[in-house]
């Protein structure tokens, strides 16, 4: 159903964009035919690459997916560019005072306006794509000092959090090394990976040497992960061994104690329920754990937050939202989720939703900075304010 809706929207958006592009292309004769042919090939690259990969993976299919993923970003901002332009022209028609009475729209004037609009469009797309990619591949470190109730009073722990790496065709080996190096520079005691480590194909991720790169993470108290919705889109029986072969412990609705400091619980993503694999209630996962230790939970998708507050969780970390990844979709994620990025306090529980460190689809970010989050945690008495 999701794919059906996606491709309907994809088709309608591209019909609109193409009609505008073809009316502006300043080429004539054979060059015009070539330009239009290249544009059609570009917009068909993503769906064709998806279809070919599903039927029989080839180098050509991978190439089409890479090109098509870049085009998704171009498509989004092409749509907004022409929509704003059309709304402006509609406003001029409806509001006479916006018109320039001295302007004569003869054929030459219209041609010059069309060329100017095409030049503005091309410049806009180049700036967005180049700037968005530059931003996407340079993660920032956000550091926070937290005081959590429970555990060994006065002891501290440094926890690095990342989510939504999406290792695969687009987030390649070089990009993965940059992420791991950024994490290691924070000198964490523990690393938490809050889902969507793999983009959707274990094969693609392993070809980018995901396991070997993850093995380079340095954290004396361990590296732990949960699965996100994208891991459930593929075969979890392949995903888990691939991740764990890099020295990462994947928690599937289970909890353990970290060095006597705190209880760490890792939940299956909500997608596990939708795919028929089940997901335990949080209270069930925490049965038998120490009552006097702070509980930290990893849950990829930030939904049903009240379940964590009712279970007495001190801190829950999530990802999934990307904070929209492309502006203005952050407005949409803000409407969908109770918290789409940053901290939220509910009753006695603290939540942090990361905007992620990788990208899905276009390797572009315009609504957020990719982040590695460092929590400098101090434990206090449970009855202390």
Distance (Å, whole) CA 362 – CA 169: 11
pLDDT at 341: 97
Query: How far apart are the C-alpha atoms of 235 and 253, rounded to whole Å?
Result: 17
Mean pLDDT of 249-273: 95
Distance of alpha carbon 320 from alpha carbon 354, whole angstroms: 8
Determine the Cα–Cα distance for residues 279 and 301; give it in Å rounded to an integer.
13
In a domain, 359, yes or no: yes
Q: What is the count of structural domains for the chain?
A: 2
State the pLDDT confidence band at 108, using cuts at 50, 70 and 90.
low
Q: Who contacts 84 (Cβ-Cβ below 8 Å, separation ≥6)? A: none
Cα–Cα distance, 31 to 157 (Å, whole number): 63
The last residue of one of the domains, among 80, 100, 135, is 135
247 in the same domain as 169: yes
pLDDT score, position 79: 96
Distance CA 248, CA 49 (A): 31
What is the pLDDT of the chain when averaged over all its residues?
Answer: 89
Read off the DSSP letter of residue 97: G
Tell the burial category of 177 from Cβ atoms under 10 Å away from its Cβ (0-12, 13-18, 19+).
Answer: middle
Range of the domain at 30: 2-135
Residue 39 has phi, psi (to 5 degrees) of -65, -45
Contact in structure between 300 and 318 (CB atoms under 8 Å): yes
Q: How far apart are CA 285 and CA 272, in angstroms?
A: 15
Domain match, 150 and 221 both: yes
Task: Check residue 323 and report its DSSP letter.
Answer: G
- Say yes or no to pLDDT of 106 above 80: no
pLDDT at 329: 96
Query: Is residue 226 scored above 90 in pLDDT?
Result: yes
Q: Is the pLDDT of residue 98 over 70?
A: no
Going across the sheet that includes 156-162, the strands are 140-149, 371-380, 156-162, 190-194, 223-226, 249-250
Q: Looking at 135, 162, 185, which one is the last position of a domain? A: 135
Kindly state whether residue 207 falls inside one of the protein's structural domains: yes
Supply the CATH number for residue 152's domain. 3.60.21.10
Q: Say if CB 267 and CB 304 are below 8 A apart.
A: no
Q: Are residues 155 and 125 in the same domain?
A: no
Q: Is 385 within the bounds of a domain?
A: no
**130 lies in the same domain as 146:** no
Determine the Cα–Cα distance for residues 375 and 320; give it in Å rounded to an integer: 19
d(CA 45, CA 89): 32
Q: Is residue 236 part of a domain?
A: yes
Mean pLDDT, range 107-128, rounded to an integer: 80
Lowest mean pLDDT, pick from 91-100, 118-127, 150-159: 91-100
CA-CA distances (angstroms) from residue 9 to 3, 14, 75, 83? 10, 8, 11, 15
For the chain, the first-to-last Cα distance in angstroms comes to 48
**Shared domain check, 98 and 42:** yes
């Amino acid at each position: 159903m999701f794919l059906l809706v996606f491709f309907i929207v994809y088709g309608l958006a591209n019909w609109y964009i193409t009609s505008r592009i073809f009316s502006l292309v300043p080429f004539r004769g054979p060059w015009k035919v070539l330009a239009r042919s290249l544009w059609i090939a570009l917009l068909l690259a993503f769906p064709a690459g998806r279809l070919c990969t599903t039927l029989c993976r080839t180098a050509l299919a991978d190439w089409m997916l890479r090109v098509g993923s870049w085009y998704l970003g171009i498509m989004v901002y092409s749509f907004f560019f022409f929509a704003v332009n059309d709304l402006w022209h509609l406003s001029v028609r409806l509001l006479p005072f916006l018109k320039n009475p001295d302007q004569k729209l003869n054929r030459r004037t219209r041609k010059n306006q069309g060329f100017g609009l095409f030049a503005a469009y091309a410049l806009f797309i180049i700036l967005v794509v180049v700037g968005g990619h530059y931003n996407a591949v340079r993660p920032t470190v956000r550091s926070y000092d937290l005081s959590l109730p429970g555990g060994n009073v006065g002891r501290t722990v440094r926890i690095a959090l990342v989510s939504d790496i999406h290792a695969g065709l687009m987030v390649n080996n070089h990009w993965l090394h940059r992420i791991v190096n950024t994490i290691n520079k924070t000198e964490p005691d523990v690393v938490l990976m809050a889902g969507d480590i793999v983009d959707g194909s274990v094969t693609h991720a392993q070809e980018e040497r995901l396991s070997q790169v993850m093995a380079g993470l340095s954290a004396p108290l361990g590296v732990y992960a949960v699965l996100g919705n994208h891991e459930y889109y593929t075969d979890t029986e392949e995903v888990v061994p691939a991740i764990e072969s890099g020295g990462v412990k994947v928690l599937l609705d289970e909890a353990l104690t970290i060095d006597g400091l705190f209880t760490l619980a890792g939940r299956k993503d909500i997608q596990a329920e939708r795919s028929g694999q089940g997901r335990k209630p949080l209270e069930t996962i925490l049965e038998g754990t120490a009552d006097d230790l702070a509980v930290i939970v990893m849950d990829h998708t930030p939904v049903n937050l009240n379940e964590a507050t009712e279970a007495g969780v001190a801190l829950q970390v999530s990802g999934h939202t990307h904070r929209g990844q492309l502006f203005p979709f952050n407005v949409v994620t803000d409407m969908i989720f109770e918290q789409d990025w940053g901290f939220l306090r509910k009753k006695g529980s603290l939540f942090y939703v990361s905007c992620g460190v990788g990208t899905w689809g276009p390797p572009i970010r315009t609504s957020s900075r990719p982040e590695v989050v460092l929590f400098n945690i101090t434990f206090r008495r449970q009855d202390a304010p």
